[in-house]
Homo-oligomer: A and B are copies of this chain.
Amino acid sequence: MKKLIGDPGAVVADALVGIEAALPQVRVDHENRVVLRATPKDEGKVALVSGGGSGHEPLHGGFVGFGMLDAACAGEVFTSPTPDQVLAATTAVDRGAGVLHIVKNYTGDVMNFEMAAELAEGASVASVLVHDDVAVEDSTYTAGRRGVGLTVFLEKIAGAAAEEGRPLDEVVRVAEKVSAQGRSMGVALTSGTVPAAGRPTFDLPDDEMEVGVGIHGEPGRHREKLAPAPRIAEMLVEPVLADLPSGGEPVIAMLNGMGGSPLLELYLMYGEVAKLLEKAGVSVARTLVGNYITSLDMAGCSLTLLRADDELLRLWDAPVETPGLRWGR
């Protein structure tokens, strides 16, 4: 896949220049590659830091702003941010009430966020792990389940709790609840292309798809012939529902694009997913359809469901004002 880039080794740095030019509501620490709110939140509120490899935009930098993150650390494409980056972000956003690290479950991310937490001597740091991908236990870069789409929900909901002024242990409790109550599954029709590599991350024959793919192109459960949308919807809905905590609460649903599939197809896919959820007796309280956690230009999509009680729904509905997610304010 052809790229809109200059120096392939400087893609992330160059993109951060564009982010700063385009978005007055954020500022960029170019030295540490951290995206921060232009206006820090009030003193005495818990701050949220996330980050990870680049290439999943709008995650995480696009979720910096009122009601979500205070800072996002941008690693190289598909590469964990360094402990120094996370430390710089943590120090910059600490408002005296503690900092929550939101960490997707990849070995490098887990290690580097942990190291940063240890180094952040002045700040009270807690951490929550996102590990929602039901496709596989253990994978290329992960022990246990991978962290994928639920990250968007967790950043939104924990962000709302922090914005309300809840103390760190309360924000952690809400974040852990989201982490426990949500599950995801994805499918790839094509591989994305890392700019510095210049060729697709994995080979996939023209008539096949990868069922259960990871957001870095990690292998999923199996490959099979490209199927029509109604069948693909079954491949996403069934394993997610099988692993989702049961209960009478409705769900928040996200049909997420991997970056290379048009919005027209994502809405079409959601139509198929909605039919299956209705058939399964699952009530959908809120819906997101679009590109929220991508894998560069991978064609494909993922489904995330979060079993949401009244508390989570109320926090979901709270105002949010970020480049990637915005409502109610």
Give the one of A62, A195, A206, A264 with max B CB within 10 A: A264
Q: Are B18 and A268 in contact, with the CB atoms below 8 A? A: yes
Mark interface residues in A149-169 (1 if CB within 8 Å of B CB, else 0).
000000000000000000000
Residues of chain B contacted by A317 (CB below 8 angstroms): none
Docked-complex contact B57 and A267, CB < 8 angstroms: yes
Contact A270 B190 (CB under 8 A): no
A209 close to B (CB within 8 Å): yes
A230: which B residues are within 8 A, CB to CB? 6
Known: A57-B264, A264-B11. A269 touches B299 (CB 8 A): no
Q: Among the listed B58, B255, B266, B270, which residue makes an inter-chain contact with A263, where contact means beta carbons less than 8 Å apart?
A: B58
Say yes or no: is A128 at the interface (Cβ < 8 Å to chain B). no
Report the minimal beta-carbon distance from A107 to chain B, rounded to whole angstroms.
23
- A287 cross-chain contacts in B, Cβ below 8 A: 21-23
**Which of A3, A7, A262, A270 has most chain B Cβ within 10 Å?**
A262
Q: Give how many copies assemble into the complex.
A: 2
Which of B14, B21, B22, B228 is within 8 Å of A5, CB to CB?
A: B228
Q: Is the interface of A mostly helix, strand, loop or mixed?
A: mixed
Chain A, 254-297, CB within 8 A of any chain B CB? 255, 259-272, 274, 287-289, 291, 294, 296-297
- Residues of A at under 8 Å CB distance from B? 1-7, 11-12, 14-23, 54-55, 57-58, 62, 77, 189-190, 192, 195, 206, 209, 226, 228-230, 232, 255, 259-272, 274, 287-289, 291, 294, 296-297, 299-301, 326-327
Give the distance to chain B from A304, nearest Cβ to Cβ, in Å. Answer: 14
- The docked-state distance in angstroms from the alpha carbon of A327 to that of B329 is 8
**Chain B residues, Cβ within 8 Å of A18:** 255, 266-272, 274, 289
7 closest cross-chain pairs (CB), A and B = A18-B271, A18-B267, A2-B189, A17-B271, A57-B263, A21-B274, A4-B265
Beyond A4-B299, A5-B229, A22-B270: 10 further Cβ-contacts under 8 Å? Answer: A6-B228, A15-B268, A18-B272, A22-B255, A22-B289, A54-B264, A57-B263, A260-B260, A262-B296, A326-B327
The answer for the CA separation of A191 and B274 in the assembled complex, in Å, is 31
Complex Cα spacing A195 to B226, Å: 14
Q: Are A297 and B229 in contact (CB under 8 A)?
A: no
Q: How far is the CB of A205 from chain B (nearest CB, A)?
A: 10
- A22 contacts across to B, CB distance below 8 A: 255, 267, 270, 274, 287-289
